Amino acid sequence: MTALAQWHLSLGARLAADHIPLDYGDQAAELAAAKSGAILLDRSHEGRILLRGRDCLALPNRMSTQDLVSLSVGQGAPTIFTNANARILFRALCLRTDAGLLLISEAGGGAALAAYLRRSIFFGDQVTIEDQSAETAQFALHGRAADRVAAALSAGATALGSYGNIQTDSEFGALTLARRKSICGDHWLTICPAESAAALHGRLLQLGEAQRLRPAGSLTYNSLRIRSGRPAGLELSADYLPLEVGLWDEVSFNKGCYTGQEIIARMESRARLAKTLVRVALSAYVPAPATVFANGSLAGKLTSSAQAANGEIYALAVLKVAFAAPGTALEVGENQVPARVIDYAGAQPAFITEAATGAA
């Protein structure tokens, strides 16, 4: 067992098989801290893959939805790797650093993404791919006070814009800090050498004492990300296209060719979607996946659900657009549990949201 896992246990954590904390014994307190102060999570199961060389931007740029070649050092952007049919293969946060392009994968997806990138290198490409997941650790800060904790760690952090990143030397070794898309308040990632991870986690807790920072586990994270409408897991699969799961802001419609571009561009130019991601209010907890009906007609699929420690139920579903308008009554699962659409989730195009409000 690693020193970091032992440190989590000393704080009262329950660990998953990959040694990522599930919780620290009080999920209700973790959820409350996220809303009123800040929480610190171990997200080391998100892969960290460094691309170096002349073509470190060109390689993922021709394979994914975002314009990456225009990134300057200190900038970042999320992108989606799709197949020829524009179905989702991987999602990654790309950070342009002095060393190259650092890709942060979804949880558990680092090795597969690194292998996919290696298979896609053409003759003449000048790029190397280093999976740094084992030799580094990664933490996340969430909450209304997360900015103040990040500033205590590095004075230049809070000047960063969306997906901005900085590298700094510290007593814990070389650190990377980056601002990410909000799930609950401000959102930061911190990457450090694996051998200093336990010490850095402890220091972050000390720095955040005045901000009521507390450690939290992946169960709390899952509740928060579903509540916020952030797609993951089943939503980020080959069952869906990026535009169907609220990821319009992670697609460039002005860049050059990439795998799956023709289909994605056609959907945007025709202003038409077959299905889209929504937040759903369930009258009783239903585990995902589950079939969703509307007035007896097949409407789509429940793709994420969680019952938080405070009893609140959060859920996401991918529904046919005809059944996705806020307020639509639904029946979910074998027991036809009553539910309703709360709102659209993630980043949606204007033609969807305007139609729902009657503005189109």
pLDDT for 341: 98
- 160, 165, 166, 171 alpha-carbon torsion, rounded to 10°: 110
Q: In sequence order, which residues have a C-beta less than 8 Å from that of residue 123 and are 6 or more positions away?
A: none
What per-residue confidence (pLDDT) applies to 315? 98
Q: How many CA atoms lie within 13 A of 349 on its CB side?
A: 21
Q: Does 359 have pLDDT greater than 50?
A: no
Beta carbons of 214 and 29 less than 8 angstroms apart: yes
Tell which CATH architecture fits domain 3-44+134-226: 2-Layer Sandwich (3.30)
In the numeric block, the tokens 């460039």 are attached to: 252
Which tens digit of pLDDT belongs to each residue from 261-278? 999 999 999 988 999 999
Percent of the chain with pLDDT over 90: 91
Using a 10 angstrom Cβ sphere, with 0-12 exposed, 13-18 middle and 19 or more buried, the burial of residue 122 is exposed
Residue written as tokens 């098989």?
Answer: 17
Give residue 340's pLDDT band: very low, low, confident or very high (50, 70, 90). very high
Q: Are 300 and 318 in contact (CB under 8 A)?
A: yes
CATH 3.30.1360.120 occupies which residues in the chain? 3-44+134-226, 227-357
Mean pLDDT of the chain: 95
CB 163 within 8 A of CB 93: yes
Distances (CA, A) of 53 to 68, 99, 121, 130: 14, 9, 12, 11
Residues 6+ apart with CB under 8 A from 195: 3, 173
Q: What percent of the chain has pLDDT over 70?
A: 98
Helices (H), the chain: 3-10, 27-36, 58-61, 110-119, 146-153, 197-207, 218-228, 261-270, 350-357
161, 178 contact by CB (below 8 A): no
Distance between CA atoms of residues 263 and 267, nearest Å? 6
Write down how long the chain is: 360
Parts of the chain belonging to CATH 3.30.70.1400:
47-131
Fold of 227-357: Gyrase A; domain 2 (3.30.1360)
Question: Over the stretch 64-110, which tens digit does the pLDDT of each residue have?
Answer: 999 999 999 999 999 999 999 999 999 999 999 999 999 999 999 99
pLDDT(355) > 90: no
| β-sheet bridge partners, residue 338 | 331
211-263 pLDDT, tens digit per residue, is: 999 999 999 999 999 999 999 999 999 999 999 999 999 999 998 899 999 99
Give the whole-angstrom CA distance, residue 237 versus residue 151: 36
Torsion of CA 268, 269, 273, 277, to 10 degrees: 20
CATH of domain 47-131: 3.30.70.1400
Distance (Å) of CA 104 to CA 158, 220, 264: 20, 21, 23
Question: 138-160 pLDDT, tens per residue?
Answer: 999 999 999 999 999 988 888 99
Task: Write the CB contacts of 93 (distance below 8 Å, at least 6 apart in sequence).
Answer: 76, 77, 78, 103, 104, 163, 178, 180, 189
The confidence score (pLDDT) of residue 357 equals: 58
Determine the Cα–Cα distance for residues 330 and 242; give it in Å rounded to an integer: 24
Burial 58-95 (b: 16+ CB within 10 A, else e): bbbbbbbbbbbeebeebbbbbbbbbeeebbbbbbbbbb
